[in-house]
Copies of this chain bind each other. A is one copy, B any other.
């Protein structure tokens, strides 16, 4: 459903959102916590900074923190940086243009499900999923 990169980003943001506000977490600590290759996560975090989702601090005691309240951060803001999802590219058959007026054969049947997916990513926020305590035998705080 999502690219590996988008999954990594979501995991990192969820982990950051669980930290106390104002505290920073280093890329290394985050990489360990969410089980993503250190250097690769560095790039992903940097993209999130450029998108205004995270803030970064360099130097000693540096690291990353959320740039906003997690209740103001729908999943689509993160996912759309890495994957095409939602309005664009919903055509199941890969047509560039696929709409009610110029539909592919699947369009009519697929439409409702596609809209539910769009709504999920658009309306679910990071805060919404923090409540899920991710209990028990997890190897990390994903």
Contacts and interface: CB of A to CB of B under 8 A. Distances in A.
Contacts of A117: 113, 117
B7 A142 contact: no
Contacts of A26: none
Interface string A112-128: 01001100100010001
Nearest to A126: B105
A116 B116 CA distance: 9
Given A109-B120, A113-B116, A116-B113, A4 B104 contact: no
What number of copies of this chain does the assembly contain?
2
Interface size, A (range): 35 or more
A7 B134 contact: no
Contact of A93 (B11, B90, B109, B128): B11
Contacts of A14: 105
Interface centre among A11, A89, A94, A103 (most CB of B within 10 A): A94
Interface of A: 1-2, 4, 7-8, 10-11, 14, 89-90, 92-95, 102-110, 113, 116-117, 120, 124, 128-130, 132, 134, 136-138, 142
